[in-house]
């Protein structure tokens, strides 16, 4: 009888350990998935930039420094390591450069009426909203993961397994709002 009790207790402890480990794996995978969603949206935004620059170039040919800043920011973002810190810095550069580019539209009335520009601006604004949502989802997933890493009893399992903490994706305050242009 005592052997049966010992076996049941060992089995129960093993099941708890497995369940806790699996919950940590699920939380880690959710963080990884959330990061990939940010990455997808940032790449989508970067893919729109060359078309936007070419459209604006047709109207504002003497604004080369602004075009160079946008292109340089895009190159930096493409070259940045796929990690929250470097990506956030690159994202901030791109957001600032896009604000400058959209500001040009105020000086060029024909550009403000260009259907291609309006379509690209609308696509970019929609993408900025997706990026903001993906950032929020990622940061929520990281918070949940960190809570599991820091609370008992999962903290014990986390120390045994390989569950490193993840960085939050932190944009600078001025980069948290999508570029906006009033027409």
Q: Residue 164: inside a domain, yes or no?
A: yes
Residue 180 domain-assigned? no
Residue 6 lies in a domain: no
Number of domains in the chain: 1
CATH at residue 113:
1.20.1440.20
Residue 172's pLDDT is what? 65
Contact of 128 with 111, CB cutoff 8 Å: no
| Token pair belonging to 1 | 């009888």
| Residue 99 belongs to some domain of the structure | yes
Q: In terms of residue numbers, what domain contains 153?
A: 23-175
pLDDT, tens digit, 9 for 90 and up, residues 8-53:
999 999 999 999 999 999 999 999 999 999 999 999 999 989 988 8
Is 5 domain-assigned?
A: no
pLDDT in tens, 85-120: 899 899 889 988 888 888 877 777 777 778 888 888
Rg of the chain on CA atoms, in Å:
24
Residue 110 lies in a domain: yes
In a domain, 80, yes or no: yes
What are the DSSP calls for the chain, one per residue? -HHHHHHHHHHHHHHHHHHHHHHHHHHHHHHHHHHHHHHHHHHHHHHHHHHHHHHHHTT-TT-HHHHHHHHHHHHHHHHS-SSHHHHHHHHHHHHHHHHHHHHHHHH-HHHHH-HHHHHHHHHHHHHHHHHHHHHHHHHHHHHHHHHHHHSTTHHHHHHHTT----------GGGSS------
Residue 126 forms part of a structural domain: yes
Whole-prediction pTM: 0.79
Provide the pLDDT confidence category of residue 179 given band limits of 50, 70 and 90. very low
Separation between Cα atoms, residue 40 and residue 137, nearest integer Å:
14
Contacts of 98 (CB under 8 A, 6+ apart): 49, 70, 124, 179
């Amino acid at each position: 009888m005592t052997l049966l009790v010992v076996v049941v207790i060992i089995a129960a402890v093993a099941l708890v350990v497995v369940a806790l480990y699996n919950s940590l794996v699920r939380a880690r995978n959710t963080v990884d998935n959330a990061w990939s969603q940010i990455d997808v949206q940032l790449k989508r935004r970067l893919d729109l930039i060359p078309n936007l620059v070419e459209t604006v170039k047709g109207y504002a040919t003497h604004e080369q420094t602004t075009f160079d800043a946008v292109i340089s920011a895009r190159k930096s973002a493409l070259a940045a390591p796929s990690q929250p810190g470097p990506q956030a810095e690159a994202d901030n550069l791109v957001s600032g450069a896009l604000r400058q580019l959209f500001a040009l539209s105020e000086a060029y009335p024909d550009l403000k009426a260009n259907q291609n520009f309006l379509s690209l601006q609308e696509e970019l604004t929609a993408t900025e909203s997706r990026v903001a949502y993906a950032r929020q989802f990622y940061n929520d997933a990281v918070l949940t993961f960190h809570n599991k890493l820091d609370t008992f009893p999962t903290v014990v399992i986390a120390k045994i397994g390989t569950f490193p903490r993840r960085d939050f994706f932190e944009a600078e305050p001025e980069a948290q709002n999508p570029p906006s242009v009033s027409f």
